[in-house]
Amino acid sequence: MGESSQNARLFDCSDDSDVDKEYLPDSSPDTSSSNQEIMEGRGHIVTAEDGEGETKGKKNVRKRTRNPKSWACNVRKKAHDEGKEYMSVRKKLGPAKSVLTKKNCLTSCVHGCQKFISDQERNIIFQNYYTLDEHAKKLFLLTISQKFLVERHRKGKNAQNSRRKHTFRYYFNVSDQRIEVCKLFYLGTLCISQTPIYNVHLGKDIVSNTPKESRQGRHVKHSINDDDKTFLKRHIESFPKVESRYYRANSSREYLESNLSIAKMYSLYVDLCKSENKQPVKDSFYRHVFSNEYNLFFHTSKKDRCDLCEEVKLQIIENRLSTEKNEEYSRHSIEKGACRNEKNTDKEDENTVILCFDLQNVLSCPRAEISSFYYRSKFNVYNLTAILSSTKKVYCAVWHEMFMGRSGNDIASAVVTILERVFDDNPNLTNLYCGVIVVFHKTETL
């Protein structure tokens, strides 16, 4: 601990404004470097050992994996195609389909459909029809229906002036027999309108009498060659990763500097392509690769929040707060209030001197808005800040990761370094209060 405390540099500050979250170094390294040095890959494509609740063996990436089967439009379409109940786009309930009997074919039908096809056989035909996909349904309708030219016309009508050009005959294949049925019996058995019959015959191939292949998705795909993809990935991987103030030990998530963005990275990529005489890919493809092949995020500062308080708040919103958790939260709230009251009491007592300390945001050094700096590896700089209640004087212990990290012993060393200076200025110090982030790093050694 002695060596670590000597490594922590100590600065006296007159007010809180000097605890600078936007710290900039006084000097910067030489920015002249070749493009070859810039493109040295320092990252990697994140693979699958997860700590964020993902399935084992699945690659963790920035963007969620698509699940088109769960999309509302596809769920609705699947239910409609299978003849099941569904909710329309306008939030109207579409009823499930079933076999319909539109007339009594025993007495009022020239074909006598119900004499040859029983209700049980109709249900079997209905169920088999709705297990088919879209293309198979079209093929099925073509095999059990025929289209003919109109043979007879009403008086005063002929093939030229009549709107009706064709007529249809309908059949069902039952027990290896082809049975002709009437239109209402046919449509009622399949629970469809006559529109699918018209459309399937209108779009069929005349020679083979089969439905034509769908023309959807027939656009020409403009593929990007492997060299351009590799160059793009090397550019993304060339940005150094920074350490987040908040992290999980088993997280596969990585962070880039907060002053970066996808738009800024793409702009730097375009500049690099110009210097290399390469044709840059479009912004949309750059974003696609960044989001779907990497688990990279941009580091942003967050407020210190209690894990238990946030967990209970979420459970209350989701209406799943258990009795045990509620009791634990009640005890926690009482302890939190007691601690706050104790601190306020100590602050109001003129004979009590307290020191409050907490770890500030992790800074990256060097830091500058220069394009070549984005590709440089940077040191993490840590800043433990303390304020003395009696004099309002602020003390900052600043160190970078080459000296030590931010483990419990490291933070304890920084606290000891601050205390040595505080006791020199005010030997009457009685109480210490630490912030949430210090507790987060489990500095029981304090």
List pLDDT tens digits, range 180-204.
999 999 999 999 999 999 999 988 8
On whether the CB atoms of residues 60 and 54 are closer than 8 A, the answer is yes
Q: How many CB atoms lie within 10 A of CB 273?
A: 17
The overall average pLDDT reported for the chain is 77
Residue where a domain terminates, one of 192, 211, 230: 211
SS3 201: helix
| C-alpha to C-alpha distance for 34 and 40, rounded to whole angstroms | 10
Q: Which two tokens stand for residue 26?
A: 């006084």
Q: Are 266 and 281 in contact (CB under 8 A)?
A: no
| Longest pairwise C-alpha distance within the chain | 120
- Does residue 144 form part of some domain? yes
* Residue 283 and residue 291 in contact, taking contact as beta carbons nearer than 8 Å: no
pLDDT the model gives residue 287: 92
DSSP state of 132: S
* Amino acid at the residue 334: I
pLDDT at residue 340 greater than cutoff 90: no
Q: State the average pLDDT over residues 316-339.
A: 84
How many helical (H) and strand (E) elements, i.e. helices and strands, does the chain have? 15, 15
Mean pLDDT (whole number) for 287-295: 90
d(CA 268, CA 235): 9
Our count of domains for the chain comes to: 2
Per cent of the chain over pLDDT 90 is: 26
Domain boundary among 187, 211, 235: 211
Report the pLDDT value the prediction gives residue 373, as an integer from 0 to 100.
Answer: 64
Residue 433 is assigned to a structural domain of this protein: yes
What do you get for the CA distance between the two ends of the chain, in Å?
12
pLDDT at residue number 137: 93
Residue 247 has a pLDDT of 52
- In this predicted model, which residue has the larger pLDDT, 349 or 10? 349
Higher pLDDT, 441 or 9: 441
Q: Which of 179, 211, 243 is the last residue of a domain?
A: 211
Within a domain: residue 281?
no
201 in the same domain as 98 = yes
Do 12 and 76 belong together in one domain? no
Same domain? For 13 and 100 the reply is no
219/216 Cα distance (integer angstroms): 8
Specify whether 120 is located in the same domain as 14.
no
Residue 366 to residues 33, 97, 256: CA-CA distances in angstroms? 16, 68, 14
- Specify the pairing of strand 429-434 against strand 353-359: parallel
Mean pLDDT of the 236-252 span: 68
Hey, what amino acid is at 134?
Answer: E
Please give the average per-residue pLDDT across 157-173, as a whole number: 83
The answer to whether residues 193 and 76 belong to one domain is yes
- Structural domain that includes position 172: 70-211
Q: Does 119 share its domain with 14?
A: no
From residue 105, alpha-carbon distances to 123, 170, 172, 184, 191 in Å are: 16, 14, 15, 9, 16
Identify whether residues 191 and 81 lie together within a single domain: yes
pLDDT value for 164: 79
E strands, 14-143, where? 86-87, 93-94
Do 84 and 11 share a structural domain?
no
User: Mind giving me the DSSP string for 327-391?
Assistant: HHHHHHHHHHHHHHHHHHHHHH-TT-EEEEEEE-PPEEES--S-GGGGGS--EEEEEEEEEETTT
